[in-house]
Amino acid sequence: MSYRYLLRQTLIYMAVLTLALWVLIPILLIGISAFTPRQELYLWPKSIIPSHFSLETMRFFLGAHGVVRSLLNSVKVAVLTLTFTLAVGAPAGYAVARFFFRGREAFRLGILITRMFPTALLAVPLAVTFIRWGLYDTLVGVALIHTAMALPFAVIITTGIFMGVPKDLEEAAMTLGCSRFGAFARVALPLALPGLAAAAMFTFVISWNEVFAAAILTVRNRTLPAHIITTIQASPLDFRFAGGFFMILPALLFMFLIRRYLFHMWGGATAER
Amino acid sequence: MGTDTLLPYWLLLPTLIFIGVFFLMPLFKAVGLAFYGKDGFTLAYFEKMISDVRFFDALKFTFLFAITIVPLQVVTALAMALLLNSGFRGSRFFLYIFALPLGIADLAAGLIWLSIFTHRGFLNSILYALGIIDRPIHYLSYQNINYTFLSVVAAEHWRATAIVMVILVAGLQMISKDYLEAAEVLGARGWKKIWYVILPLLKPSLQSALIIRTIFALQTFAVVLALAGQITPVLAGEAYFWQFLYRNPHVASAYAVLLMVISIAMTWVYLRYLRSRTEVIRE
């Protein structure tokens, strides 16, 4: 019996370790590539571990025309996006979590359906519209379409977050003399804050990673992914590796910070189907 | 009281306006751009799309990618979720590791796997070090289109399995312990328990994972561009080139509308096919 148990545990750990290595090794490899001296990247045969680690590739990437600017643009767009998304989506999430009203289920279904829209279907016509509105090639324009893409997630996530805040607490605050808004601001909001922060980071990552719409809606004011993809055919390998490495850094950091909330988000998303 | 019944609608209003302006309006506008030219209704843009030399290749590869990648992801994610669910020590730690690619952009994933599959990349270097090859293989070239295809599959499989895994883990957590205990009492253990008890109960999660992944797999774009350039064209990539390079929003919209129609059709197929199966199981 204990022999079978031991065998089972060994098999489980071997399978889990294999899968973990499959996830981690590519991330490690891009890290190695980004810190390999430039000329060694083009050697054949190339050693897997470089002779020494160097900042040359990263320096070349950051010094390349347009990179720092596009990096700053990416940060600005992502911050605008998370502001817009929470401002628009969180009230809706609160409404769905707290009230039973006519059309509630229809609204939730509608939100799920918007997730099925191909990005191309939003970005191509909006490029035409944005030219007319003066939003083409602006960071606000990109942030608006990123908000549209992040909004369904934000509504679903914030619904889950506010459902996790007991309604009784707010009602108790109201019987003790708080107004409806006061009860929300003093009781529900502080309790929901960590969850909302996680939702904000998730939104940041959605925007930071988005490439199709950002590339189509900009010419000079490109975000980092848009800059990389529009110059990809002409840029050397070391530039591309450094770019890939740079793109995943904040994303991995944020995902690590919000790891506890991942299941709130996706658990909530699936509970509705 | 009157304000309290209206309050939820006020809270929904910003979202509804946003959906109207940034989903419904582009939807109608895209259909308009795809079907209306200077002289009114026309199928000219669709004809232009279909008569393009790359169109059928793009259609073919889009479907080939989706039907290769999605089952691979579901099987891998299911293995991950069931392993994590077996509750070994440190499962939480591995859960976070498995979830890491959630934060990685499709473009970044393409670039990561480019460092592996490129001419003088890690794969060729390892094969050379092992003495399997003596000259680098061009995985990403028109001569080796099958390798190119598999490279994109490897990258997408790696990147987007995490989302399926998270959905399935969440689904597993919702399965009532009573069912599992009852199954064990009745003698279902190991594979039997997984096959006859867990999988049927996991069907709703599998369904949403399949729908979400298929829809996004049909839109595969940046991974393909980063790894394969134009060797394996895809529909979303064609929409991008028609808009970005050829400055033709009409044909780009035709591609976008086609993608939408395919997405809706696939969702319908899943809902219909998987639902009938679940009902059989419930009986």
Q: DSSP 3-state assignment of A46? A: coil
Please tell me if residue A220 touches chain B, with a CB cutoff of 8 Å: no
Kindly report the backbone phi and psi dihedral angles of residue B193, in degrees, each rounded to the nearest multiple of 5, phi listed first: -65, -45
Please tell me the total number of residues recorded for chain A in this structure: 273
Kindly report the backbone phi and psi dihedral angles of residue B246, in degrees, each rounded to the nearest multiple of 5, phi listed first: -90, -5
Say if residue B237 is exposed, middle or buried (CB neighbours under 10 Å; 0-12, 13-18, 19+): buried
CA atoms of A58 and A38, how far apart (whole Å)? 10
Query: Which contiguous run of DSSP H or E holds residue B195?
Result: none
User: pLDDT at residue B186 above 90?
Assistant: no
Q: For B32, how many CA atoms within 13 A lie in the half-sphere containing its CB? A: 12
Q: Which among A15-29, B4-18, B81-95, B119-133 has the top mean pLDDT?
A: A15-29
Can you identify the CATH homologous superfamily of domain B56-282? Answer: MetI-like (1.10.3720.10)
Residue-wise pLDDT for B215-227, tens only, equals 999 999 999 999 9
The most distant pair of C-alpha atoms in chain B lies apart, rounded to whole Å, by 80
What are the extents of the domains in chain B? 1-42, 56-282
Please tell me if residue A117 touches chain B, with a CB cutoff of 8 Å: yes
Task: Give the confidence band of A203 by pLDDT, cuts at 50, 70, 90.
Answer: very high
* Domains recognised in chain A with CATH numbers: 65-271 (1.10.3720.10)
- Predicted confidence at residue A1, as pLDDT, reads 60
- Contact between B166 and A88 using a beta-carbon 8 Å cutoff: no
Residue-wise pLDDT for A81-91, tens only, equals 999 999 999 99
Neighbours of A228 (CB within 10 A): 30
Query: Which residues on adjacent β-strands are paired with residue B36?
Result: B41
User: pLDDT at residue B249 above 50?
Assistant: yes
Task: Give the confidence band of B280 by pLDDT, cuts at 50, 70, 90.
Answer: very low
CA atoms of A228 and A249, how far apart (whole Å)? 16
- Predicted confidence at residue B265, as pLDDT, reads 92
Enter the tokens of residue A174. 């109201």
Mean pLDDT value across chain B = 89
Task: Give the confidence band of B165 by pLDDT, cuts at 50, 70, 90.
Answer: very high
Kindly report the backbone phi and psi dihedral angles of residue B36, in degrees, each rounded to the nearest multiple of 5, phi listed first: -120, 125
Cβ contacts (< 8 Å) between A270 and chain B: which residues?
167, 170-171, 204-205, 208-209
- Contact between A20 and B15 using a beta-carbon 8 Å cutoff: no
Residue-wise pLDDT for A144-180, tens only, equals 999 999 999 899 889 988 988 888 888 899 888 888 8
- Contact between B86 and A114 using a beta-carbon 8 Å cutoff: no
Task: Give the confidence band of B8 by pLDDT, cuts at 50, 70, 90.
Answer: very high
CA atoms of A46 and A23, how far apart (whole Å)? 23
Return the DSSP state at B103: G
Within 137-156 of B, beta carbons closer than 8 Å to A belong to none
Task: Give the confidence band of B271 by pLDDT, cuts at 50, 70, 90.
Answer: confident
Query: Which residues on adjacent β-strands are paired with residue B40?
Result: B37
Angle at B238 between CA B251 and CA A114, to 5 degrees: 80
Q: Count residue pairs from A and B with Cβ separation < 8 A.
A: 281
Q: Which of B209, B169, B174 is nearest to B86 (CA)?
A: B169
CA distance A7 to chain B (A): 13
Within 154-173 of B, beta carbons closer than 8 Å to A belong to 158, 162-163, 166-167, 169-171, 173
CA distance B137 to chain A (A): 12
Most B CBs within 10 Å, among A121, A206, A216, A258, to test the B interface: A121
